[in-house]
A = this chain, B = another copy of it.
Amino acid sequence: MDISTVNALSYEDFVNVFGNVVEKCPVVSAAVWSMRPFKNLAALEAAISEFIDALPETGKEGILRCHPDLAGRELQSGTLTRESREEQARAGLDALSSAEASRVSLLNEAYKTRFGFPFVICARTNDKETILQQLTERSRNQAAAERARGIDEVKRICHVRLQSLVLAEPPNKL
Chain A interface (Cβ within 8 Å of chain B)?
10-12, 15, 24-35, 51, 54-59, 61-63, 65-66, 112, 116-117
Contact = CB atoms under 8 A, between A and B. Distances in A.
B116 A65 contact: no
Nearest to A60: B31
A29 to B, nearest CB: 8
B15 A34 contact: no
Contact of A61 (B24, B34, B56, B58): B34
A11 B65 contact: yes
7 contacts: A15-B66, A25-B26, A27-B62, A27-B63, A30-B66, A33-B65, A34-B57
A123 B34 CA distance: 26
Contacts of A26: 24-25, 66
A54 B56 contact: yes
Q: How many copies make up the complex?
A: 2
Contacts of A10: 112
A153 to B, nearest CB: 16
The 4 closest A-B pairs by CB, nearest first: A31-B62, A30-B62, A30-B65, A34-B58
Nearest to A57: B34
A116 B34 contact: yes
A117 B61 CA distance: 26
A158 to B, nearest CB: 14
A32 B61 CA distance: 9
Contacts of A34: 57-58, 61-62, 116
